[in-house]
Structure 1
């Protein structure tokens, strides 16, 4: 992943923060089959890395991601099956990447410096948090080329209200960063020159917490969203009970009551 020719760049920023950057700027960081595989591999490595507490997902160049690589897709239409097998594999790999972000123990923050469209917008919607530059733009414009953004709709409909998601999907219109913030697609919007600093500050804020607490909290959050209300409460009650018995909860509550700074052991 490291190196100037890599599809995905990894940099450890210290204090438990790792930055992954899409690195196909000349192709508008289109999510080729190989780039999706690189993201998948990186997430698998990070998942078991106790030194990584927060992940920033960013991109090189002026575009965050234009979505699936349409040139790659078009090229596979010459296959004997018209591209069906490749399309199925590409959609499956993309879904695996999105689910890996959700399942990753560490929180993932999207650092969005420019346009994020189609599966690129899906990537932003999938991340736990997102910080956007004032120059960022978002769209799911598949409808404009006869290809409804059905898989991006999965993440988008879970990040913004249903009618807002449908408007983006049915019109394909681009929305600005401030609009995206109002919808809840991104958490905050900052001046372009301050984007990297602001994203890193947020990441370090989270990284300073108990990694054990953050990990079980992220998992519980995503698990309960798919459950009926009573089951969601039952699940989270069980999680909180176990959390209360953890060393970091004992330390944290003790530090709060004793008016001192906690010392996390991440267990």
Structure 2
């Protein structure tokens, strides 16, 4: 890996840190690197949870590196596995990802954050989707944001490009928790460790069901589950972990999850 993205394994947790001063903007090379990192995370059976954050206290990520764009990189270029930032289009990522937003998250940086499953944000973080002001569209946010927060609020943020602070983000449910900046990573690690101790096959089933059923009617999705059409659910139901959960409950002890 390059110094643009730092990684650290802590047991079953992978920490991924953007490190591109001054603002942690993402160019094509960095996006491709992130895609490789998150693909390896997805495919590594020893890793169960990832934390995505950035260096510094001012910026999480402003999205696309406009200096790289001015140098010839186009919006339709090769951003690598998982699309821009490595997360937005990565297939089969059935492990929890926590975004620890340490500062400004705007444009593609906000799109990257909302690609995570859980968002913790420093108390000084701020957000915007300013693409409208440069005559372009925040495409991933236009798809995702109206499904994450109330429709009318999402449309206002997309239409105006205005800035909003972390308290408003929390009010609309975009952010799970506001954390003092000095405590952001310790809180993210605490949550990651809690998840890493949980049942990975259940997490995988939750993510696949939620992802695949997002645009389905309730009964259609339930019919697919009952017809054994979700691979992760079937793997869970036939697993040692399923039996271990029942045994641990009967024996009044903590289960030992093996992910198989």
Q: Which of 201, 218, 234 lines up with 2:207 in the alignment?
A: 218
Aligned to 2:165: 176
1:97: how far off?
3.8
RMSD: 2.0
Aligned to 2:63: 67
Within 2, Cα distance between the matches of 1:159 and 1:19? 25
Within 2, Cα distance between the matches of 1:185 and 1:265? 32
Moved more, 219-228 or 88-97: 88-97
Aligned to 2:7: 10
**How many aligned residue pairs are there?**
253
Aligned to 1:151: 140
Q: Which of 234, 240, 250 lines up with 1:257 in the alignment?
A: 250
Unpaired runs of 5+ residues, structure 2, are: none
Asked if the contact 2:32–2:86 (Cα under 8 Å) also holds between the matched residues in 1, the reply is no
Within 2, Cα distance between the matches of 1:46 and 1:25? 25
TM-score by length of structure 1 reads: 0.88
More helix by share: 1
1:1-267 maps to which residues of 2 (within 5 A)? 1=1, 6-14=3-11, 16-26=12-22, 28-61=23-56, 62-76=58-72, 86-90=74-78, 93-94=83-84, 97-100=87-90, 103-237=92-226, 238=228, 239=230, 240=233, 243-267=236-260
SS at match of 2:255: coil
Aligned to 1:80: none
SS at match of 1:111: strand
Within 1, Cα distance between the matches of 2:85 and 2:215? 17
SS at match of 2:77: helix
1:69: how far off?
1.2
TM-score by length of structure 2 reads: 0.90
